Amino acid sequence: MKRKTAETVAIFVCPAAEIDIGAVPKLETDALCRCLIRSARKAFENPEFAAEYETWLRKRRENQATQTEEKSA
């Protein structure tokens, strides 16, 4: 099985999906949140994953700063 990295995990995010959160019962959203939190904690226990995430985050912040500077100019 392929090792999951910060990059491969991000692929599963689907910005086109629309969910009416108000229609989901609180019990279900709580259960989903607990599952998500547990998964995130487990992923960040892996030092390689955490390092990849930090690298991704640093690059993202640099790109955002560059874009902001370009818009201001």
Q: How far apart are CA 16 and CA 37, in angstroms?
A: 23
Domain annotation covers residue 53: yes
Domain annotation covers residue 26: no
Domain annotation covers residue 24: no
Whether this model's pTM surpasses 0.75:
no
- 62: which 2 tokens? 């640099």
Domain annotation covers residue 12: no
Domain annotation covers residue 64: yes
Domain annotation covers residue 65: yes
Domain count along the chain:
1
Domain span at 54: 42-73
- 1: which 2 tokens? 């099985």
How high is the pLDDT of residue 43?
95
CB 12 within 8 A of CB 51: no
Domain annotation covers residue 49: yes
Domain annotation covers residue 50: yes
Mean pLDDT by 10 residues, the chain (73 residues): 55 68 90 95 95 95 88 77
